[in-house]
Chains A and B, each alone.
Chain A
Amino acid sequence: MTTEITFPVNQQEVTNFSKDRQEPQWFTDLRLSSLENAFSLELPKAEKTRINKWNFTSFDFDAKTSGSGNFSDLSDSVKSLVGEEKNIQNLIAQKNGVTTFQALHEDLKNKGVIFTDLTTALSNHEELVKKYFMQDAISANENRLTSLHAALVNGGTFLYVPKNVEVEVPLQAVYSHEGTFGLFNHVVIVAEENSSVTYVENYLSEGSHSEAVANIVAEVYVGDGATVRYGAVDNLSDTVTTYVNRRGQVTGRDAKLYWALGQMNDGNTVSENTTYLVGEGSYGDTKTVSIGRGNQSQNFTTNIIHFGKHSDGQILKHGVMKDSATSIFNGVSKIEHGATKANGEQTERVLMLSEKARGDANPILLIDEDDVTAGHAASVGKIDPLQMFYLMSRGLTKKEAERLIIHGFLAPVVNALPIESVKEQLYDVIERKVY
């Protein structure tokens, strides 16, 4: 796999790639059937955004990188996210899908926690991966991009937390992307009964900016009484077209899933984030913040779908729009028949910093059950002049007052990220993007 390829990638290339990695046959078969399906399937529907001319299929499949496994070989931007080597306990760093550094604390290993790259997981924990990989939360056949993803997956992480194990420290993953590489990254997180874990990931671009594609899928499975906190900062460059689909299957009774997503890509992005609240009394909480700038076009859809009785879903989406950027914010709370006493709440707010930018907030409630509560709030507007007056009346310049208001507006996600260096990085990204 060395030459530049345009979709469709041929079967032989996919087969060779899978063989090189010594993947099990069922995985190779899934790749091949998905590749075939990709021809006939449609692109995903991004409500109110036209994505049919976007580049999802032209990229290079050669990672052009290798992992030494030495901390010192990591780039400075990765190092700034993960802190000093002596303090690192649990980390996976990958560049163009190749693992460059990996660590998991001995205690966690002994408790049966698995935190490793997907390729290693396929060889060491094949049955577990098979049980979850694109099974329930997402299917390879949903649309052209999910099938392309299944066919070409070339990076990612498998995280498994056994029953009753509470992982107290956050587990961190950093995925960097460089050049024309097409990154097909896949994350699977499984939290068994009464376990808990926090996972934080960063996507970032390195080197010169080239036309490229990122096709990212994450699946999270949360068992009875388990809690998963999933934090992410997406920060790919303006030349990378991104499809990212993060799904949560909250199947367990009283299971909880918290998302905190900082969606800071500079390129065109379609993002779907869907939480299925299946378990009785299950809880889903999604917080996303984003900044649109330049000419980028983005579509952010958050779904929480209630099946379980007494399930509770909370959506908060805040977006800042500047320059000539366009973003569509769709929030969908869907309560299925039988999900009695369910509660769905959502808030979408868009702050417009430029006359030329466009931002749409679409809160949608779809309710098939009578005995529920639900609510939504949405607004699109400029910075409140009275807030500006108040802050400036204390001596803050216009710029400084705006800065405080914007950082405050995006704080719900910044504050929810449990790793200090990642929090700081997101703060810096916001600072850089707004000014």
Chain B
Amino acid sequence: MLVNEKVAIEHGLKADEYKKICDLLKRVPNLTELGIFSAMWNEHCSYKSSRLHLKKLPTKGNKVIQGPGENAGVIDIEDNDAIVFKIESHNHPSFIEPYQGAATGVGGIMRDVFTMGARPIANLNSIHFGSPQNKKTKNLLRGVVHGIGGYGNCMGVPTIAGQTSFDSSYNGNILVNAMTLGLVKKDKIFYSKAAGLNKPVIYVGSKTGRDGIHGASMASASFDEKIEEKKPTVQVGDPFTEKLLLEACLELMAGDSIIAIQDMGAAGLTSSSIEMASKGSLGIKINLDKVPCRETKMTPYEIMLSESQERMLIVLENGKEEHAKKIFEKWNLDFAVIGKTTNSKNIELFFNNEQVANIPINTLVENSPMYDRKWKKAKLPKKNKFKNEDFNNLKIKDVLKKILSNYNVCSKEWIWQQYDHTVMGDTIQKPGGDSGVVRVHGTNKAVAASVDSSAVYCWAHPLTGGKQVVAESWRNLISVGAKPIAITNCLNFGSPENEENMGEFVECVQGIAEASKYLNFPIVSGNVSFYNQTKEVGIKPTPAIGGVGLIKNYKKMITMKFKEVNNLVLIVGKTEGHIDQSLFARIILDEKNGPPPEVNLFNEKNNGESILDLIQKDFIKSAHDISLGGLLTAVSKMCIKGNKGIKLNKSKNLMNEIEYFFSEDQGRYIIEINPKDLKEVTKILDKNSVHYEELGIIIDNELIINQKTKVTIDELKSYNSNWLKNYMRS
């Protein structure tokens, strides 16, 4: 096929980008070369619209071993142990083919983690669907959940936490973000930087097929009515092969054969070979005849652009080929020496003894486009003025019922029961808590992880929303007794070519950066997913934040379930009565406008650190952060989990009870303490100038607000536990 501008545009490149390619090469590329450029220069691989802004994110800290730029981030958890982690999106493929899209998302992120030498020890996910009434939602949800479970369960890695939401803005673009944590010894971390000349380049894993060709390009475009035609761009996952690949790689990594290793993810062999060579300032020569293929007559173009799963590229030390080959053969995996490193600084491809591509690597990487897209600053919306009359007709019990059974608050047990969350025998906090917690095998340490997003807040005011998500992640870690260490982010947005969507991105990133800097909670890895958009309609901005923290003595881990009758319950952090953008405002008052709750980073830090201090001193029996649905929702969940009730004190607060119970002010926690410790606890809180109130006392069976409002625990459970199961089985 002759290459021209039209063909380039069909590859997702812009006319000026094509011109730039011709200028850089000083000639017209052939089709294989054009395919390689389109794969490297698309949004998904090149971050061309986001790079400029991502530089603002704080990525350093004394616990950071590796920040963004590698397969995943790495943090120090002491005693020569390190945690490798990252979150990644698989949104576009999951909408087209939910089972395989979600499954390969999970497979891809696990590969990113074990590529660095770490054994995956926990999976998490953040998944977002359209309105439950939308006719596609149920099947998409079922397919995604089966896909995540199908892959993670087979790999034998527990799925310990996650987040699910429904919002009509995802009707045409669901979000599937998968996160993995792996454990590695600090001195056995593997990187993707190639080094040395004439080193053998090894291909291992599955064979290459025609699946997933142009997957990364598909993920860099909006959807239209023809999306069904894009099914062949979705990869097909094989978790069994990945399990073998994991064991084989870890076996090879135990020795000293590997110089560099990179998984073949988005843009397959193209991006893996180019990234390794680029990082090592080397060239690479590949003989495509040697690549193990699943199908006959595959062309160089197809081999280079295939996104077949479960494949790795390795640069080996000379002379280690036989040793490596034996290991991969033991695990029944393909193994082939397909090329070598060179000093040409070019990628040179050969097929049937002919050179089929020869491109200077810097043109693909350093010279890839970078755009300073136009963006619009969002104004802080005006506050709604609610009057007491707005609330007077509302009964607290009715409101509570509606909120607890709302699809974004209700129990997601139907989902996480389908994920193996206990395999590996170290899960000490299961899904459904503030964070999932796994022990570091064979030690007294445990790692907590949580994934959060608040699209509604980000939509109402991106800067505040960005801060809020980081703060919520921080609180979720604190609530289980973990010291927050670092985060990974998955930035899901609409089209960067739309000024408003781009503005949402820029300001969310700004907010994330501010909060992460203030809380000393750096970003060590992440991924950007733009074009979550069907025709002109984009999703609500949905940055997902995956936080990781350390519990030095796992016996000090905290759960949210109320523990003991007669214990006291305190609310830490100040309740101001911020109703705008709360779930209450949206579903009870049907009010969608107004600013999100303000995020005061000083209070977040101060309150969080004080809670951690109280946990360290063994004062806290249970804890839960207050988020969606407000104070009474949080208390109800603690009642449900602990099978205990609470008698709430009559509020000394002057505000309306509705505002007090359902507002979504930030920086708040509910804690349970033994009455004998009250003096000590309040002394510490007072000393740190932390606002607190005594909320009530734990009793059996009932949540009692005053003589008018009594709700039994069984009622709370029935409100909260049935919606999703009924929806899925109806």
Binding between chains A and B? no
Instruction: Identify the B interface with A (CB < 8 A).
Output: none
Instruction: Identify the A interface with B (CB < 8 A).
Output: none
